[in-house]
Amino acid sequence: MERIRCVDVVVVGAGFAGLYMLHRLRCLGLTVQAYEAGDDVGGVWYWNRYPGARCDVESMQYSYSFDEDLQQEWRWTERYASQPELLAYAGHVADRFDLRRDIKFATRVRSARFLETKALWEMVTAAGDVLHARFCIMATGCLSSARIPRLPGMERFRGRSFHTGGWPHEPVSFEGERVGVIGTGSSGIQAIPLIAREAANLFVFQRTPNFSVPAQNWPMPEEYERSWKRDYPALRRRAREASTSGSLTDPGQHKVHDIPPQEREQLFEARWKKGGVYFLHAFTDLLLDEASNKEAADFVRRKIRSIVKDAAVADLLTPTDHAIGAKRICVDTDYYDTFNRPNVTLVDLRSDPIEEVTVTGLRTTRKEYALDAIVYATGYDAMTGALLNMEIIGRGGLTLQDKWQDGPRSYLGMMVAGFPNLFTITGPGSPSVLSNMIFSIEQHVEWIGDCLGYLEQNRLSTIEAEAAAEEEWVEHVNAVADRTLYPKAASWYTGANVPGKPRVFMPYVGGVVAYRRKCDKVAAAGYSGFTLARAEVAETSMA
């Protein structure tokens, strides 16, 4: 019988988390096998190739900080990097650190089972290949499990269908076509203005309007780039020590109602002009106090009315059901103005829901729309989807699906009781999607790397979250969230976008500084809240 290959660590995913994790593990002298479902590196930026796909964190900050030469040599061409540039950056990092040789591409992991007697994870790929590893690190991303709603008749549509999160690699032209976009979250809001420029007719099928602020994207000014590169280590340190999200956003110092109305308006206006998520940092209490939040929301509502010429369309585009920022705020280029174009029609699915997809388009209760293409910008099974799509089996045959049937539970968003030696990078219960993702990825990768180094030095072979520590962390995550307006919105942060998904506020809202402090304290105390043990059997080079 063929012997099963065994490595120290298996890493699932080769996006920004998987790439850096692989690099870090190699530096520790560990043997690593990475698996990646795509044909190349890049993760979310590999799959999301839809028109307008762009990061909404500034390029100078949405980039690795772990290597000074890397951050000095790479040149971003715009304030917010577009998807092709981010993908090129991921490719550059893979080349620079020679990472591809340990990544098996086009390989999906079907299951991961902890073999208790051997203290090994047994990984099985979709093709049936088997691998053993002492540690399993899930770098599977927070927004990687695309969600396409099951609409009656979808399979009979004769035109082309796309999901924004699984866009073809070859160029897609909508020139002269009738196109329907379903969904007006961040992806739809980025894609709609560009599709509108190309298509003969664009129909936007909107169920819930979202708040969007202008990106104010621009080509990277040389002086701005220089100002960052001159001082990169100090600026990165400031983001680590004095920001809530891991990005420097020039946070305001006052509560909304501490400032007279006229000055407030000027401040909002200045933030609107500055662009992007800076808007939500104008005041300290926008996500804590409903009356304060309303001031910001009303400002954006007025902006929508001032941009969109047709008052009825402006009304439909105006969100009324949630606090601004409680759902992920969208960042756009020309979104609202796109609805002034004669070739763009907004269809309100609240008053006129989709009944079915037909052979030639979409039929709502009131009308049939002939379409050449349908773009599903319908989002993701966020934060837990990619993990639960695999069969992950821990101690005593416990599956992650069962463990998380009432919502995700973890210690620090990194480990789950009952699943020894399994780490989740930016897992639920960590700042993750509420932070600059690359920033949080680096923190997790470094913490996990240090942890594995510690185990090695102390000749320990397993680490597992203790149930009591997990319980306490889950309670803390919920308690902190409940002090904010976040859990009140029906967002993908709470799982509300997936029918049947338990409603739990998943990311940690306490800020990256408090979170890092907690993680560092846990490590300094010899990994308090974790059980560390020396297993009887250990087969790999680390033992």
Q: How far is the CB of 22 from ligand NA7 (least distance, A)?
A: 24
Judged by the rule CB under 6 A, the positions of this chain that interact with ligand NA7 are 143, 149, 164, 182-188, 207-208, 328, 349, 377-380, 492, 497
Write out the E strands in 289-414.
Answer: 330-332, 344-348, 354-357, 361-364, 368-370, 373-376, 391-393
Q: How far is the CB of 183 from ligand NA7 (least distance, A)?
A: 3
Degrees (nearest 5) of the Cα angle 328, 334, 336? Answer: 70
Of 30 and 357, which CB lies nearer to ligand NA7 in the complex structure?
A: 357
Q: How far apart are CA 188 and CA 204, in angstroms?
A: 9
Q: CB–CB of 385/148 below 8 Å?
A: no
Of 183 and 252, which CB lies nearer to ligand NA7 in the complex structure?
A: 183
Per the document, the length of the chain is 543
| Chain-centroid distance, C-alpha 78 | 21
R_g of the chain computed on alpha carbons? 24
N- to C-terminal Cα distance for the chain? Answer: 24
Phi, psi of 359 (to 5 degrees): -60, -35
Of 379 and 431, which CB lies nearer to ligand NA7 in the complex structure?
A: 379
Measured from each CB, the residue nearest to ligand NA7 is 185
Of 114 and 167, which CB lies nearer to ligand NA7 in the complex structure?
A: 167
Q: How far apart are CA 53 and CA 82, in angstroms?
A: 6
Q: How far is the CB of 356 from ligand NA7 (least distance, A)?
A: 12
Q: How far apart are CA 541 and CA 357, in angstroms?
A: 55
Q: How far is the CB of 249 from ligand NA7 (least distance, A)?
A: 16
Of 319 and 529, which CB lies nearer to ligand NA7 in the complex structure?
A: 319
Q: How far is the CB of 481 from ligand NA7 (least distance, A)?
A: 17
Of 6 and 512, which CB lies nearer to ligand NA7 in the complex structure?
A: 512
Q: How far is the CB of 529 from ligand NA7 (least distance, A)?
A: 30
Q: CB–CB of 93/19 below 8 Å?
A: yes
Degrees (nearest 5) of the Cα angle 27, 29, 30? Answer: 110
Of 33 and 484, which CB lies nearer to ligand NA7 in the complex structure?
A: 484
Q: How far is the CB of 204 from ligand NA7 (least distance, A)?
A: 10
Q: How far apart are CA 202 and CA 193, in angstroms?
A: 10
